[in-house]
A and B are shown apart, each in its own frame.
Chain A
Amino acid sequence: MTLCKESDCEMNPSTRTIEFNRDIQAERKQAAAEARVAFTRKGTLVINLVSSPGAGKTSLLEATAKYWKDRYRMAVLVGDIATERDANRLAPFTPVRQLTTGGACHLELELVQRGLAQLPSNDYEFLFIENIGNLVCPASHDLAEHLRVVLLSTTEGDDKPGKYPKMFRTSHAMMITKMDLLSYVPFSTEEAIEDALRIQGNLHIMYSCAIRNEGIEDWCLWLEGCREKLLASQEVCL
């Protein structure tokens, strides 16, 4: 008989193998899927904005809120490791809540749902989740979004999509930002797009310069179209 050091229990030496073959994130994915259905039923299109730090997520959201003004009910949940800078920046233009992770490199559904409960209403037509600036970890976490939009700025390099395959594979659209800087940087939009489409052939491609309000109308019209399709079909597929 063998004594177990940790619990002083007695065990005989025979072993048993328990087979599973299951996704470790299955429950989390199921919770996200159920939350997504609830958003769909409410008519809320949920957009998860992902990118490297500084690619322009907050600027894009600010421009979006200014473009729509009171035409649509939008809200933003902003994720950061620390500070409320982004929420403070957006607060004059849209309902916003800061989600501070205190060190986690990605947002998870539970934190998003806590932030959702703090928003002034539960009746938004567009809910944006501005994820932590990180092209790695957020790719593996479903936040119940209908759309995952990856931002790639002209200052980052046109070879980035292939370096972050999971993020680009799981995205529905790519927005190339900071187009005003294109003439100053060695960035080829054609190569960046080709690199991204090799990974996800269904990516919808857009361009913007948020500080000059360029590309914002196309972006907003695309979102409005996506929401109309969602309301018509009650399904996520676009």
Chain B
Amino acid sequence: MHEYSLVRGLISHVLHAIESNTPCSVQEVVVSAGPLSGVEPLLVEQAFDQLKSDAGLGGCRLLVEVTELMADCESCRCSFAVQDFVFRCPTCNSSSITVTAGDEFRLLRVKVLE
């Protein structure tokens, strides 16, 4: 499953980030995923639950924050929430837009016991 590949990457990031802390000290990992991030939050949680023990993160909880799909219009400079995956500016109808949020699977923060 696609989410397994990405969650392995997530776990690798976490283990690298905690440096001298032991994996079992990681209490909570918070990630964000939006409509265009390419991951389904429920499947991310399932993949994490299945993979965490092998990494020594058995006691760790994963929280997935769902973010909105946001974009900026390059023509009229307005910012807007993309609705129904229609990538057109609601103000000027331009299709020259840049997605600014909701298209990535992001690691937000990690809580560790000291």
Contacts and interface: CB of A to CB of B under 8 A. Distances in A.
Interface of A: 2, 4-7, 9, 11-25, 28, 104-106, 108, 136-137, 139-140, 162, 165-166, 169, 197-202
Contacts of A19: 108-109
Given A18-B17, A162-B85, A201-B88, 7 more contacts: A12-B114, A16-B114, A17-B112, A18-B110, A24-B104, A200-B95, A201-B96
Contacts of B105: 23-25
Q: Which 6 residue pairs across A and B have the least CB separation, nearest first? A: A201-B95, A140-B38, A165-B85, A137-B2, A6-B24, A20-B107
B25 A4 contact: yes
B108 A20 contact: yes
B78 interface: no
| Interface residues on chain B, size class | 35 or more
B24 A7 contact: yes
Given A7-B56, A105-B2, A198-B87, A166 B107 contact: no
Nearest to B33: A24
Interface string B6-39: 1001100100011000111101000100011111
B10 A24 contact: yes
Given A4-B22, A105-B1, A14 B86 contact: no
Nearest to A23: B104
Given A24-B10, A140-B38, A18 B88 contact: no
A137 B38 CA distance: 7
A20 B110 contact: yes
A106 B112 CA distance: 34
A11 B114 contact: yes
Contacts of A136: 2, 38
A131 B25 CA distance: 40
B76 to A, nearest CB: 15
A15 B111 contact: yes
A198 B104 CA distance: 21
A14 B114 CA distance: 6
B39 to A, nearest CB: 8
A128 B112 CA distance: 45
Contact of B113 (A13, A169, A201): A13
B69 to A, nearest CB: 9
